[in-house]
Amino acid sequence: MAKQRSKKTPTMKSTSPRTTPGSSATVTKDRDKKTLMKIDELGEAIVKSSLAQRDPHVDIPMRTVSNTKFNKSKRILEMGSNAQRRNLFNLSMAKKFMQTVLLADGCKDLIEAGKTLSLRGMYYKSLHTIEGTNEKTFNDQSESDPVLEDLEVSLGALREELHVYARKAGTIAGNITLIDSGDEIDCRRMGSGGYSIPSICEPSIIQFKKCEAKFVLHVEKNTIWSRFNEDRFWQTHNCILTEGGGQPPRGVRRLLRRLHEELGLPIYCLLDCDPWGHYIYSVIKQGSINLAFESQRMAVPDAKFIGIRAQDYERCELSDDVKITLTDRDITRAQQIAEYPWFVDKKPWQREIERMLANGFKMEVESLITKDISYVTETYVPQRLEERDFLD
Amino acid sequence: MAKQRSKKTPTMKSTSPRTTPGSSATVTKDRDKKTLMKIDELGEAIVKSSLAQRDPHVDIPMRTVSNTKFNKSKRILEMGSNAQRRNLFNLSMAKKFMQTVLLADGCKDLIEAGKTLSLRGMYYKSLHTIEGTNEKTFNDQSESDPVLEDLEVSLGALREELHVYARKAGTIAGNITLIDSGDEIDCRRMGSGGYSIPSICEPSIIQFKKCEAKFVLHVEKNTIWSRFNEDRFWQTHNCILTEGGGQPPRGVRRLLRRLHEELGLPIYCLLDCDPWGHYIYSVIKQGSINLAFESQRMAVPDAKFIGIRAQDYERCELSDDVKITLTDRDITRAQQIAEYPWFVDKKPWQREIERMLANGFKMEVESLITKDISYVTETYVPQRLEERDFLD
């Protein structure tokens, strides 16, 4: 039905000195070797214990709130040193021990094959009925996902380095050229759709080529992104425009971190004035509580919150119509967020949350449309940028 | 902070004779004129009634299941001729009448400004407290969305022509070059991320430039899409690869329809073997029951279902592990789908659904990973294509 085409044409190779030429497989090689070595070490330790007739074990750092600490100098969430030993010869641990080894083996396969899989794919890959029994290796994906996270932290390798990816969401456009798997992506010429941010944004897959942009504007939803893109905001303000489909997935967070770290771009977040918006900001900035391990590679402690602010109701002279009453759950969440160690010492954030609670209502970015369709792109964000009026 | 850059560089203009050059505003002009005319007619009729001291009204075609008919010759869902008259001088209708006029006015604004808004944005745009009262024009978005749909059907204009867009989701890569708002999008060079399918895929925004592809493979989820893209399936099989994030949003459906209609490409759908997968296929093929009006512009009656099939458990020699037991709800849904007028006469589909019910389990596309990571891209789909083994 189809003709085989050559896998790469010469023009597809990057010629910029800032990027590594060649296919992603070549670029990945070193990092993959390192990850493979870690998996091998895990395997060897188990074999060694077994041959010495000792009970084989794996030590899994604990991913609990109590083992999560806010590192004040680095300003990110970090995992503490508590670990749990998972033994083979322990009835309550044997299955999880087996699952850990099985998934490690699966990741080894993936890396050696130079392929990637989704979490669901990984579940299926490692799924089989254990010979001579009716017992399955996993009852469902809810069993394999956490074991994969265990593996991630115990190996000290991001999920992406294990060749496993999370859901893909998010869009980018603006004054930057990326190289993605050897293809040159000119984000200045991405029409109305934009470039779809990959689920794996490691340097092995994504390299930065040419960037004139001076900052990144990250917005919460793709509907807002479309408004900014349609108004060519990234062009008139020389920036990069991203969105993460609500709570940004790992790929988006990793990309933001790399844009900040490698290109020195400030990250400004335009999110709703509600606990969910504040939480999204918190995850972008400090990392997530459940996966504190990833913060060191994904968090952007210098990210700034550009709005929506509780004072905007008055400052922007909005009408009562934009008020959305806070629910009891919102109030509880807001109080929890105010007590996060990275918010608790920040007076401006304390005032912000207090004011929202005093208002008794939340506001969405879209509420600015009541002023004018393009008020947010032509007035609101430009003013905040001009006045450098951000929450940190 | 930023320098103003010229809005279009000469190189950004398309030089292909198959596309209309210039900005999307120019391209849209004719269609927009037509839509504006329809809105004006609506307004004029109301003014005319008022001046003649008659009760002003709008006739809204009914968007109910009973007013939805399957057109056997066109093989799409169509709306019947039942309409409901919405009067101003009727207590139970006055508010909806006002909302209809208000949203029509909002769409007129958008079209004249050459801008677009999301459904949520449109809600905010039309939201205000009616002078001298405490009454808001809309209590929440759940009131404005259906009125906008009413407007769509009564004007005979797609939502997109009213400059209102739905959520954006979905990705494309493959042997085609698109023009999106004047930017040339080479879908052959979209790396691992892919091009993000815009929420509005009307010819005014998206034009097709160069296409070697012989067919479109549409898959359900972006995780599966990534597997196909990573294996360069679109390159080895000279095709276009799309995904719609589950139930494809309007933009994706409109794009599939246009790829089929304007470029003559067959559309093959790779979906889960479960009622949800069958339903997605049904919506792509015949249109959705709730919005039958859009079918004539979005449905692809020639779309084919390439799998997963109920027989695959045996045909592909899958293990018991891939079986996911059908729930009661699944069984009810499957029976409902079997009775859809466009499935009821099709023996192969009746057999397919019967076999799934007899199996007692569903299967996901990902289940093929239990065979091999790339079984789906290297064996399953190529075999079905080779044997032209589809459900219609």
Measured between beta carbons, the chain B residues lying within 8 angstroms of A306 are: none
The secondary structure of residue A367, as a DSSP letter, is: G
Residue A318: φ, ψ to 5°: -85, 160
Nearest to B230 among A115, A183, A364 (CB): A115
- Per-window interface: A 168-197 vs B, CB < 8 A: 168, 171, 178-185, 189-197
Q: In CATH terms, is domain B24-55+90-165 a member of 3.40.50.720?
A: no
pLDDT of residue B28: 60
Measured between beta carbons, the chain A residues lying within 8 angstroms of B193 are: 168, 180, 185, 195-198
Class of B273-392 in CATH: alpha beta
Average pLDDT, chain B: 90
* Angle made by CA atoms A317, A364, A362, in degrees to the nearest 5: 80
Architecture of domain A171-386: 3-Layer(aba) Sandwich (3.40)
Per-residue pLDDT at A3 exceeds 70: no
Q: Domain-by-domain residue ranges, chain A?
A: 24-55+90-165, 171-386
Q: Which two tokens stand for residue B46?
A: 């109301």
For residue A37, CA distances in Å to A34, A109, B205 come to 5, 13, 50
The mean pLDDT of A187-195, rounded to a whole number, is 95
Q: Are A46 and A58 in contact (CB under 8 A)?
A: yes
Query: How many angstroms separate the CA atoms of B194 and B348, rounded?
Result: 35
For residue A57, CA distances in Å to A43, A106, B274, B341 come to 10, 19, 41, 59
Residue A278: pLDDT band with limits 50, 70, 90: very high
Instruction: Give the model confidence (pLDDT) of B252-303 as tens digits.
Output: 999 999 999 999 999 999 999 999 999 999 999 999 877 788 888 899 999 9
Q: Which two tokens stand for residue B205?
A: 């925004």
Helix (H, G, I), strand (E, B) or coil at B184: strand
- Mutation target to probe the B interface, by most B beta carbons within 10 A, among A168, A184, A232 is A168
Per-residue pLDDT at B380 exceeds 50: yes
For residue B164, the cross-strand partners are B117
Query: How many angstroms separate the CA atoms of B151 and B56, rounded?
Result: 16
| Interface contact B366-A235, CB threshold 8 A | no
Helix (H, G, I), strand (E, B) or coil at B214: coil
Sole residue written with tokens 């919102």? A330
Q: Is pTM, for the whole model, over 0.90?
A: no
From the CA of B235, how many Å to the nearest CA of chain A? 6
The mean pLDDT of B329-353, rounded to a whole number, is 94
| Interface contact B192-A198, CB threshold 8 A | yes
Q: Tally DSSP H helices, then E strands, for chain B.
A: 15, 17
The mean pLDDT of A293-300, rounded to a whole number, is 90
The mean pLDDT of A205-232, rounded to a whole number, is 95
Class of B167-270 in CATH: alpha beta
Query: How many angstroms separate the CA atoms of B155 and A77, rounded?
Result: 54
Q: Do domains B24-55+90-165 and B167-270 have the same CATH topology?
A: no
Query: How many angstroms separate the CA atoms of A65 and A340, rounded?
Result: 12
- Per-window interface: B 325-364 vs A, CB < 8 A: 364
Residue B356: φ, ψ to 5°: -60, -45
* A74 vs B: CB within 8 A: no
* B369 vs A: CB within 8 A: yes
The mean pLDDT of A182-203, rounded to a whole number, is 94
Helix (H, G, I), strand (E, B) or coil at A241: strand
pLDDT of residue A26: 52
Measured between beta carbons, the chain A residues lying within 8 angstroms of B232 are: 7
Measured between beta carbons, the chain A residues lying within 8 angstroms of B127 are: 321-322, 370
| Interface contact B182-A168, CB threshold 8 A | no
* Angle made by CA atoms A49, A54, A58, in degrees to the nearest 5: 55
Q: Are B299 and B79 in contact (CB under 8 A)?
A: no
pLDDT of residue A346: 94
Residue A134: pLDDT band with limits 50, 70, 90: confident
Instruction: Give the model confidence (pLDDT) of B202-261 as tens digits.
Output: 998 999 999 999 999 999 999 999 999 999 999 999 999 999 999 999 999 999 999 999
| Interface contact A237-B12, CB threshold 8 A | no
Q: Which residue of B has its CA nearest to A370?
A: B125
Q: What ipTM goes with this model?
A: 0.83
Q: Which two tokens stand for residue A24?
A: 């992603």
**Cα first-last separation, chain B:** 57
Give me the active site residues of A, please.
Answer: 124
Q: What is the CA radius of gyration of chain A?
A: 23
Nearest to A373 among B113, B231, B238 (CB): B113
pLDDT of residue A10: 34
Measured between beta carbons, the chain A residues lying within 8 angstroms of B205 are: 191-192
